[in-house]
Amino acid sequence: MKGEAMTDQTGAATAYGGFWIRFLAYVVDSLVVFIGCVVIAAAAALAGEIASAIGSLVLLVGPFLYFAGMQASARQATLGKALLGLKVAGAGGDRISFLRSLGRELAKLISAFALMIGFLLAAFTQRKQALHDMVASTVVVRDSPGHVLAALALALAAIAAPFVLVTFLGLGMMAAMLGPMAGAVMEAQPPPRPPAAKVAKPRPSKPAPAPQAKAPAKPRAPAKPAAPAVAVAKELPKPVELPKPAPVAKAPPPPPPPVAKLAPAPVPAPTPPRATPATPFRAGPSVPGPKFNDLMTAVMYRDAAGVQELLAFGKWPDKPDSRGLTPLAVAVMLGDAASAEVLLKAGANPDGARRVALELDDAAMRALLERYRSK
């Protein structure tokens, strides 16, 4: 990576930049150009069609103008060369003009021809000149040691940057394409119906048990009359005449036992009337409905007949979903020309879908939209 020192016409020692040090400087400059191109492309894509065309032209010419302008400036080096202490000069060490620097950059196309042999010449020539240096009569000199470690770190970042950017762009594009499709499919699914309430079956009523008649009470036995007590006369010391016994009173006859009254016979419970089954309701003939609930679902399934059927029922052809996409834009995104033409015949606005066709670069779909747009 060290430049070779030699003596020029003035006798001063000049160190030329070798192949590897120039290659490291070119990798660092590639990172600078890559970042600039990404910023310009993103800004042009957001600005519109005219800005996108101008951005494409800048991306094509910009790298040549960067190298030519920086090497023709007072610094005489690009950012990568300046970081490593390199300068681009004429054969006598003088500063080159912008046109000469631009011709040197265009001559790199010749160096790149035939397996980059023109660049490899810088490792073998005496003044470390590549083929484009010989064409433009320029040399790359080593003006100072530079910062090699910082340049190596930037070179590693330059190598990893495209892979990281491509990975994130791929994931972003996949999410942008699958997000609307998944949302439309989820919206197309009908909500779950609540379970039907179970009707409890009526329990059969049991008849009340008939009351039983009580048996009549048994008659009580007549009470036996008690025997009258006989008074015994005590002996008196003096004989006296015994008095005549008083007549014994007869006991009254016992009352007759009460007769038990019979309870009235129980009245049977009335029999409940039998329930008459209701006549089942007979629905009239069903009217056939559309195959899909909305236009977005029919377009997602690419069913042009279903789209025509919904339009016949009076569906609005330009009804957007929650993300602002119309059925015509989704049909263009899916490349379904049949559904797109049915929507256009129904009066759908082709302006929003035309942008999708331009982004997808679908010439057939763009021609279809232009035909209905001109009507």
Say how far apart CA 91 and CA 104 lie, in whole Å. 13
Confidence check: pLDDT of 238 > 80: no
**How would residue 360 be classed by pLDDT, with cut points 50, 70 and 90?**
confident
CA dihedral 175, 179, 180, 181 (to 10 degrees): 100
pLDDT greater than 70 at residue 203: no
- 313-348 CB burial, b ≥16 within 10 A, e <16: eebebeeebeeebbbbbbbbbeebeebbbbbbebeb
Dig out the tokens for 107 from the structure. Answer: 């001559």
User: All domains of the chain, ordered by start, with CATH?
Assistant: 5-165 (no CATH), 295-373 (1.25.40.20)
Question: Nearest CA to 367 among 356, 357, 375?
Answer: 357
Q: For 277-292, what is the mean pLDDT?
A: 62
Which is nearest to 32 in space by CA: 67, 58, 1? Answer: 67
Going by pLDDT thresholds of 50, 70 and 90, the confidence category of residue 354 is confident
Model pLDDT, residue 10: 46
Contact 180, 330 (CB under 8 A): yes
pLDDT digits (tens, 9 = 90+) for 257-283: 655 555 555 656 666 656 556 555 555
CA dihedral for 106, 107, 110, 116, sign (positive or negative): negative
In DSSP notation, 209-232 reads PPPPPPPPPPPPPPPPPPPPPPPP
Q: What is the structure's pLDDT at 232?
A: 44
| pLDDT value of residue 341 | 84
pLDDT at 337 exceeding the cut of 90? no
Q: What is the pLDDT of residue 314?
A: 81
Q: What percent of the chain has pLDDT over 70?
A: 70
pLDDT band at 286 (very low <50, low <70, confident <90, very high): low
CA distance 223 to 274: 59
Has residue 119 got a pLDDT over 60?
A: yes
- The Cα–Cα gap between 16 and 137 comes to 14
pLDDT digits (tens, 9 = 90+) for 3-37: 444 445 444 568 999 999 999 999 999 999 999 99
Phi and psi, residue 96, nearest 5°: -90, 160
Mean pLDDT of 302-312: 85
Mean pLDDT, rounded, of the chain: 79
